Structure 1
C-alpha cells in the first residue's frame, strides 16, 4: 500500500487546517480516486508551522497518527529545507505532495514577503522531486488583466507564474473566490454595505467558504493526474448583492448585518481600496460573462471535485454567530478606511 506524505504550508490557517482535517479523516479502505496511482493510497500529513508547541499545532497533532508537525519558517529557507531533508532520509521516502496557502499580509501591504515565500516553497518542491504541488491563489477572471499595474493580486500572480515555469513539476492552481468569512464581524457589515451600494444590480459575486478550499484541495491531491496543469476557479455560490442578502436571511433566519448606506457611500468615496474591491468584482463578473462560461458551470465543476461545497445560505445556517473573526484579521479597520488607508 503506497504512502503519500503531504506537506501543508499554512497548516494552522482556515484553508490549511481544513486540508489537514480532511486528510486525517481519510481511511485506507476508501477507494483511490487516481487510477494512475497504487490502489488505496495512505496519506500522512506534515503540518508546517513556526510554532509546533502552539495550541493550533497541538490541535492538528491530536487528529491522529497520520498527522505530524514540523517546525519551519518560510522566512528562514534553511529551516524549511531541513524539513524536506529530514523526510527524505526516512525509510518511507520524501515528501510526495505540497499544499500551499500563504498567510494574507493585509490589504495594501508590501507583497515582497509573500512572493519570496511562494517562490521558496516552489523551488524546494521542484528540487526534492515532489510529485504534485497545489497552490491556493486567487480568482480574478481573465488573465489578460494580470499585468495591470493596479492589480492587487501581484504577489499571487508572480507566484503562479513561478510555479508554471518549473519544468517537471506537476501542479494545480486553485483560485478561490471572495471569502464568505469576509462578511463576519463589524468590518463584514461594512463590506456588505459597500458592495450593496457599489455593485451593479445584476453583478454576481463569486463566493467560497475558506474551509472548503482546503477540503477541495485534498480531493485534488487524491486525484492529482485528473487536475494536473489546471487552474481551477473555486466557488460554492455566485450571487447578486440582493441574492446574497436573501440567502443569508434564509440560512441564518435574520437579516444580514450591515451599516447605513450613507456610511458605505462615504467609505467608497474616500478609500481607494474599497473602490478597488468593487471594481475587481465587476471586472471578474464581466470576464465570466464574456467567456461564455456560466457561474453555475464553475460551481458544478467544483462540486464534481468536492460534492459538499457550501452555498452561502448553507454557510450562514452553519455559522456560529458567537465565533466571529477578531476585528483587524485582514488589516482593515474603520479608522483606516475613513482615512483612506488600510
Structure 2
C-alpha cells in the first residue's frame, strides 16, 4: 500500500478502462477522484458508493478539470472510444497540458497498441499517436500504456457466435495478443506505485497470446457447443478501414510485436489467460453473443 495519500484523478471512471483503473487503485490503497458528466447515473453512484470522490464536469470544462487535478498525485487519462478523432486529439492534448501546467507528479495515458512509428491513415489510430507525441514534449513525468486488443472485442454480438462460429482478424494458425480490461487497472496501479521504474516508459500491455485454433478450442469448451473459427473474409476487410488496418497490423505492423508475458506477469501477477477470462468475467457477454445461455 502506498504511503502517498493524495488521490489519483481517473478519467473515464464510469467506463470499462477507467473503471478498472479506479477499482485497482482503491484496492492498492490510493484515494481516487473521478471526473463524471452525470453524478446521479448508475455508474457514478456505484463509484461514489465504492468511495470514489466525484467531480462533475465534461472534457470541455477546463476550469472543472483544473480544479479536479488540484492536490492530486497523478492522473490516468483515457478517452471514450466514441469520440471523433479530432475531438480525441483536442481533449487528450488539453488534459495533458493542464496536468503539465499544474505540475502533476505522474501522468499515465492509455493509448493503443495499433500506434506505431508512422501515421496509419486511419483517423482514430492516428489520434492516439498525435496525443502521445504531444505528451512526450511536455515537462512532465509520463507513462504511456498501449493495451493490446481487448478480450471483450471477441464476445461482442455480430461476430458470428450466434451461428456457431467466431470471425476475427487473424488467420487460424496465426496468433494474437489480447488484454483483459480488468488487467489494465492492475497494470496501471503497479505503474503508479513505481514512478522511478515506469516514468518516461511506453509500455505495451498483454494478458495472453492465442492462435485462431486456440480461440476455437476455448470458445467450444466454455460455450458447451462447437464454435468454429475463421478470419474475416477479404471483402469484409476491404470494406472496413479500421478492421483492415488491424488485420494488417497483426501480421506486419505494431500489433504483431511480441509482448513478453513473463515480463507482464512480473508487473501484474494476477494476469488473466483468455480461457480463464472467458469462463469468468467474459461469460455473461459470451452467453449474450451466443443468443442463448451456454451450458
Shorter-chain TM-score: what band? Answer: 0.7 to 0.9
Match of 1:165 in 2: 137
User: CA 1:314 to 1:63, structure 2 compared with 1: closer, same or farther past 3 Å?
Assistant: same
User: CA 1:231 to 1:76, structure 2 compared with 1: closer, same or farther past 3 Å?
Assistant: same
Instruction: Please report the TM-score for the alignment, with normalisation by the length of structure 1.
Output: 0.75
Structure 1 residue 176, shift from structure 2 partner: 0.4
User: CA 1:325 to 1:181, structure 2 compared with 1: closer, same or farther past 3 Å?
Assistant: farther
2:33 is the counterpart of 1:71: no
Match of 2:179 in 1: 208
User: Of 229, 241, 244, which residue of structure 2 is paired with 1:275?
Assistant: 244
2:53 is the counterpart of 1:53: no
Match of 2:25 in 1: 23
How many residues align structurally?
284
Tell me which structure has the larger Cα radius of gyration: 1
User: CA 1:14 to 1:252, structure 2 compared with 1: closer, same or farther past 3 Å?
Assistant: same
Structure 1 residue 211, shift from structure 2 partner: 1.7
Q: Partner of 1:121: helix, strand, or coil?
A: helix
2:180 is the counterpart of 1:244: no
CA deviation vs aligned residue, 1:18-71 (integer Å, no higher than 9, x gap):
1111122234xxxxxxxxxxxxxxx2110111111211011011113xx21111
User: CA 1:50 to 1:264, structure 2 compared with 1: closer, same or farther past 3 Å?
Assistant: same
2:16 is the counterpart of 1:44: no
CA deviation vs aligned residue, 1:184-227 (integer Å, no higher than 9, x gap):
232243794143xxx34443211001121122111111112111
Q: Counterparts of 2:150 and 2:283 in 1: how far apart (Å)?
A: 17
Which blocks of at least 5 consecutive residues in structure 2 are unaligned? 290-295
Q: Counterparts of 1:13 and 1:286 in 2: how far apart (Å)?
A: 24
Instruction: Please report the TM-score for the alignment, with normalisation by the length of structure 2.
Output: 0.86
Q: Counterparts of 1:115 and 1:326 in 2: how far apart (Å)?
A: 34
Decide which moves more: 121-130 or 262-271: 262-271
Match of 1:100 in 2: 77
2:95 is the counterpart of 1:121: yes
Q: Counterparts of 1:279 and 1:263 in 2: how far apart (Å)?
A: 12
Match of 2:153 in 1: 182
Q: Counterparts of 2:218 and 2:189 in 1: how far apart (Å)?
A: 28
- Answer yes or no: is the 8 Å Cα contact 1:6–1:98 preserved in 2: yes
Q: CA RMSD in A?
A: 2.7
Match of 2:49 in 1: 62
Q: Partner of 2:174: helix, strand, or coil?
A: coil
Q: Counterparts of 1:73 and 1:166 in 2: how far apart (Å)?
A: 23
User: CA 1:120 to 1:318, structure 2 compared with 1: closer, same or farther past 3 Å?
Assistant: same
- Answer yes or no: is the 8 Å Cα contact 2:155–2:282 preserved in 1: no
Which blocks of at least 5 consecutive residues in structure 1 are unaligned? 28-42, 89-93, 289-293, 328-342
- Answer yes or no: is the 8 Å Cα contact 2:25–2:185 preserved in 1: no
Structure 1 residue 278, shift from structure 2 partner: 1.3
Q: Counterparts of 2:28 and 2:277 in 1: how far apart (Å)?
A: 23
- Answer yes or no: is the 8 Å Cα contact 2:157–2:288 preserved in 1: no
Q: Partner of 1:4: helix, strand, or coil?
A: coil
